[in-house]
Amino acid sequence: MPGAIIEARGVHKHFGALHVLKGVDLSVAEREFVFVIGPSGSGKSTLLRCLNRLEQPSSGSIMVDGTDMLDVKTDINKARQRIGMVFQSFNLYPHMTALGNVSLALRKVLGMPRAAAEARAGAALERVHLGDRAGHFPGQLSGGQQQRVAIARAIALEPRVMLFDEPTSALDPELVGGVLQVMRELRESGMTMVVVSHEMAFARAAADRVVFMADGEILEQGPPADVFGAPSHARTRAFIGQIERH
């Protein structure tokens, strides 16, 4: 894909005898919002974790923002600074405030002085609508607010790409909307995003492209209107039909 910021080619992943990814090809253009859907166990999260080398693919190639993620000479920690990742679990330090959690990586990873790190962290918290909660500890925040702190921590590093792995699945339904709103605003600001999620209404409304995975392969991809409205693959049709019945 011309201007692709993510280029994965022929990615396989084995966990022992289990063949989880079976030659996956995925290109993502700069500023594109790609939503990955599919049944549990289809390899969606494993693919996401391979993109930033949290998992080492068994074979294939992955380029992110011009960096060969699988080259042994690549400084993977430096490469990961350009790839924000938000997980299902928030992974916040309970003894640190929201501001402390967001500014920590800026100080430890980028070596910023405390005052500069806290200024940038404060701006990131403002972006996720938590500027007024900067002094709160995780235990004083709702699950949705904690997830937004985790997003602020990722965007404070000013990544080129954001990966979201089931960012709302641990949240109570009434807390999901605030997280999706922040993701929508990130998309509008031009952030390149790859999201694995079950939030199908959000995918339908906000994604540029929907990718359907099953059994470790991409079976179908295209604009949300096509994938949801007129899926061409029988597995996609069955999956969409099942969702719409629930």
Domain residues for the domain of 5 are 1-82+160-246
Q: Which of 86-90, 104-108, 117-121, 175-179 has the highest mean pLDDT?
A: 117-121
153 and 105 part of one domain:
yes
What gap in Å lies between CA 211 and CA 93, rounded to an integer? 34
154-167 mean pLDDT: 94
| End residue of a domain, out of 158, 180, 205 | 158
**pLDDT the model gives residue 51:** 96
64 and 98 part of one domain:
no
47 and 93 part of one domain:
no
* 120-158 per-position pLDDT tens digit: 999 999 999 999 999 999 999 999 999 999 999 999 999
For tokens 């910023």, the residue is: 112
What gap in Å lies between CA 110 and CA 10, rounded to an integer? 33
148 and 171 part of one domain:
no
| End residue of a domain, out of 158, 184, 208 | 158
| Domain CATH number, residue 230 | 3.40.50.300
Give the confidence band of 244 by pLDDT, cuts at 50, 70, 90.
Answer: confident
Give the confidence band of 173 by pLDDT, cuts at 50, 70, 90.
Answer: confident
Q: What percent of the chain has pLDDT over 90?
A: 87
96 and 153 part of one domain:
yes
* 58-104 per-position pLDDT tens digit: 999 999 999 999 999 999 989 998 999 999 999 999 999 999 999 99
Give the confidence band of 245 by pLDDT, cuts at 50, 70, 90.
Answer: confident
117 and 235 part of one domain:
no
Q: What is the domain count for the chain?
A: 2
239 and 200 part of one domain:
yes
CA atoms within 13 A on the CB side of 182: 27
96 and 75 part of one domain:
no
Please report, for residues 47, 180, 230, the alpha-carbon distance to residue 223 in angstroms, rounded to integers and kept in the order given.
20, 19, 10
Give the confidence band of 1 by pLDDT, cuts at 50, 70, 90.
Answer: low
Q: What percent of the chain has pLDDT over 70?
A: 99
**pLDDT the model gives residue 4:** 93
241 and 174 part of one domain:
yes
* 74: DSSP letter: S
**pLDDT the model gives residue 30:** 94
What gap in Å lies between CA 206 and CA 14, rounded to an integer? 33
211 has which bridge partners? 36, 221
220-242 mean pLDDT: 93
